[in-house]
Amino acid sequence: MKPNIFTSKCPKVIPYKPWILEVLSFFLVGFSGIMPTMGQDDDQRMEYIRAHYTKYEFQLPMRDGTRLFTCVYCPNRTDAKGQSYPIILFRTPYSVGPYGIDQYRESLGPNFEFEKSGYIFAFQDVRGKFMSEGEFINMRPHLNSKTSRQVDESTDTYDTIEWLIRNVPNNNGRVGQWGISYPGFYTAAGAIDSHPALKCISPQAPIADWFWDDMHRNGAFNVQLAFTFFSSFGKSRPEPTVQRAEGYDLGTDDSYQFFLDLGPLGNINKQLLHDEVAFWNEVEQHPNYDQFWQSRNLLPHLKKISCASLVVGGWFDTEDLYGPLRIYQAIETLNPGIENRLVMGPWYHGGWNRSAGDQLGDAHFDWATAAWYREHIELPFFEYHLKGNGQPEPAEANVFETGANRWRQFSAWPPKQAEVQTLYFEDQQRLTWQAPDQAGSGMNRFWSDPSKPVPYTMEITGRWSKDYMTEDQRFAGRRPDVLVYRSEILEEDVTFAGPLQADIWFSTDQSDADVVVKIIDEFPGRLLNGSREPDTDFQSGRQQLVRGQAMRARFRHSFEKPQPFEPNRPEMVSFELHDVLHTFKKGHRIMVQVQGSWFPFVDRNPQKFVDNIFAAEETDFVGAWHTIYHSPQMPSGIRVPLLKATW
């Protein structure tokens, strides 16, 4: 017989004044865009939770004696004798508030149907955050070999599950875990050396490695996102608290001008943070992919996972696109035989959780993709593995095909039937499927000026933009410091399915550079037979971003040991642009834009090589002539996996 949850053997409820933690603002990576303005449906959901669940609060002991604050919501149903419920666990560094047993969360499960179906919901402040004891470590490294009292996120998850199934009454012995962004990392990490009761996990937009997720793009520092996030999240918390630290107010909605006026990257700490954020200090000291970052790479440790996995991501996630794709692949490779599924939809960061998913910015997807996912994939996955109800979606990979606006099902991702071909750069800045085979100019040059970098978005915002992922790129293509390569008008649909790779023969007359490559779907110049429809005319000739990526070219040979360029000496710069599933329709064009900055999404490269860009001085920032080569001897292009139409 399981102990009663109210017995003295259970950790004591902590007394303090009830306090309602305000909805975490957009600057928190794990919740940006996830919690919209409250509406009528949200009110009904809150009322339902109040009427059907009872809340408890505990400090759960871990194996090293540290206690982690955990609140548990139990169903009130008593009509069915002996009825039991599975547990859904959510571990977060962003607070499990509101605190106090009479203060209830606005939502408990991934969506409302979970609460109506009946689960026990457990929420935990991770070690060192808010009301939990201990020291918080960002992306806490996993320990492959541990003593009996050593801890990491897998042991904290294991100990939490062990306590829950032994102490919470009316649980059926089955546990599922989920989380978005940072909580997605904790979900994936918690499955390592899986507790026998952990039957399924859903890491959603999970962080895998901060040298590629969130903070960097191939070594280029994501200055706007990182500063906005760590100016609050990174502040120390000496003692347990229900309060969150305030972030830095830019004092303007124009982040482009703010960061440009701020000057070199090192001024962020000198003028704004003043060494108050320990992790920022560590980032400054580790500009390369050294042991500091490598130890925080979760991917090689995703072993001994015995539970089912549903990895979820968004094609237009500006924060964590690397994570879900790589975590899915790592689980698949390191745990043969387990159920491991992937869902990629047309969503921004967390957009599958609360939005309808029918559009992003000016990109329209024709129907409520997120609502469909929640009803047909997410809920059935948990119902099947935790209750034995129904059957989950049988496909290994459910992936939304943008451009064609439809879901596709595959037995693996990337699709095995995709064939890699290269789109080559040519004279007159054309794109072609044929490699250059005759003499021509063989090159294009452009001027890159750090004092006037290419913006990554037209949006005037003090936060990072989520809409830029589908934004019309005409504003950039019309600048003289952006090269534009265009295909002929397509005579049939062309579908890219899988990872894209840029292979660019490149030189600069300075000693360092960034190379930014954007894949773009150029719409026809006339739509709707030339009719004048004000709501659709903006689509005429639209250049919709499909995928963009930056490469700090000092890392072209190694991310551990950067190297300067020899001025005007051509070298190959190769890097991945992440996966897509996108169809360029008949009548459209495929476009590629190449530029030397993408600001302030990534910081400005001084273009004069310095050992540590965080230590660059104003005099290190110099203009440079960059050259892209496309001769028979030095062909530049984009490697794309093509998916042929099947009948």
pLDDT band at 646 (very low <50, low <70, confident <90, very high): low
How many helices and strands in the chain, by DSSP H and E?
14, 25
Say yes or no to pLDDT of 12 above 60. no
Least confidently predicted of 253-262, 453-462, 537-546, 594-603: 537-546
pLDDT band at 39 (very low <50, low <70, confident <90, very high): low
Q: Each residue of 616-625: pLDDT tens digit?
A: 999 999 999 9
Mean pLDDT for the stretch of residues 26-34: 38
pLDDT band at 42 (very low <50, low <70, confident <90, very high): confident
Say yes or no to pLDDT of 535 above 90. no
pTM of the entire predicted model: 0.93
Residue 31 confidence (pLDDT): 40
Distance between CA atoms of residues 284 and 286, nearest Å: 6
85-92 and 120-125 as β-strands: parallel, antiparallel, unpaired?
parallel
Residue 19 confidence (pLDDT): 30
Residue of higher predicted confidence among 381 and 537: 381
Residue 354 confidence (pLDDT): 84
Phi and psi at residue 394, to the nearest 5°: -75, -20
pLDDT band at 637 (very low <50, low <70, confident <90, very high): very high
Distance between CA atoms of residues 399 and 414, nearest Å: 10
Residue 459 confidence (pLDDT): 95
- CA count, 13 A, side-chain hemisphere, 606: 20
Q: Each residue of 388-415: pLDDT tens digit?
A: 999 887 899 999 999 999 999 999 999 9
DSSP of 268-325, one letter per residue? IIIIIITT-BHHHHHHHH--SS-HHHHTT--GGG--S--SEEEEEEETT-SS-SHHHH
Q: Which residues contact 611 (CB under 8 A, 6 or more apart)?
A: none
pLDDT band at 28 (very low <50, low <70, confident <90, very high): very low
586: number of Cβ within 10 Å: 12
CATH number assigned to the domain with residue range 419-642, chosen from the 4 options 3.30.200.20, 3.30.565.10, 2.60.120.260, 1.10.760.10 = 2.60.120.260
DSSP of 359-379, one letter per residue? EETTEE-SS-HHHHHIIIIIH
Strand partners, 517: 549, 594
Q: Each residue of 93-126: pLDDT tens digit?
A: 999 999 999 999 999 999 999 999 999 999 999 9
Q: Each residue of 155-193: pLDDT tens digit?
A: 999 999 999 999 999 999 999 999 999 999 999 999 999
Q: What is the mean pLDDT of the chain?
A: 91
pLDDT band at 437 (very low <50, low <70, confident <90, very high): confident
Say yes or no to pLDDT of 532 above 60. no
- CA count, 13 A, side-chain hemisphere, 31: 15
Residue 27 confidence (pLDDT): 35
Q: Which residues contact 305 (CB under 8 A, 6 or more apart)?
A: 191, 192, 194, 331, 334, 335, 338
| 8 A C-beta contact, residue 205 and residue 324 | yes
Mean pLDDT for the stretch of residues 74-79: 81
Tokens 């975590």 correspond to 327
CATH fold label, 29-209+296-342: Rossmann fold (3.40.50)
Say yes or no to pLDDT of 556 above 60. yes
- CA count, 13 A, side-chain hemisphere, 319: 30
340-345 and 397-401 as β-strands: parallel, antiparallel, unpaired?
parallel
Say yes or no to pLDDT of 531 above 80. no
Residue 80 confidence (pLDDT): 55
Mean pLDDT for the stretch of residues 43-70: 97
DSSP of 13-66, one letter per residue? PPP---B-PPPPPTTSGGGTTTS----HHHHHHHHHHHHHEEEEEEEEEPTTS-
Please, where are the H alpha helices in 69-142? 112-117
| Per-residue exposure over 279-313, b if at least 16 CB sit within 10 Å of its own CB, e if not | bbeebbeebbbeeebeebbbbebbeebebbbbbbb
- Give Cα separations from 592 to 14, 329, 489 (angstroms): 58, 28, 14
- Give Cα separations from 265 to 235, 261, 305, 397, 499 (angstroms): 19, 11, 41, 41, 31
Mean pLDDT for the stretch of residues 589-615: 98
With pLDDT > 70 as the criterion, what percentage of the chain qualifies?
90
Say yes or no to pLDDT of 527 above 60. no
pLDDT band at 18 (very low <50, low <70, confident <90, very high): very low
Q: Which residues contact 254 (CB under 8 A, 6 or more apart)?
A: 460, 462
Distance between CA atoms of residues 454 and 469, nearest Å: 15
Which residue, among 443, 462, 88, 108, has the nearest Cα to 256 in the 3D structure?
462
pLDDT band at 464 (very low <50, low <70, confident <90, very high): confident
Distance between CA atoms of residues 143 and 368, nearest Å: 42
Distance between CA atoms of residues 276 and 262, nearest Å: 18
Kindly report, as residue ranges, where domains of CATH 2.60.120.260 are found in the chain: 419-642
The sign of the dihedral angle between the CA atoms of 132, 135, 139, 145 is negative
Kindly report, as residue ranges, where domains of CATH 3.40.50.1820 are found in the chain: 29-209+296-342
Distance between CA atoms of residues 171 and 119, nearest Å: 9
Residue 63 confidence (pLDDT): 98
Residue 7 confidence (pLDDT): 40
Q: Each residue of 79-90: pLDDT tens digit?
A: 556 789 999 999
pLDDT band at 91 (very low <50, low <70, confident <90, very high): very high
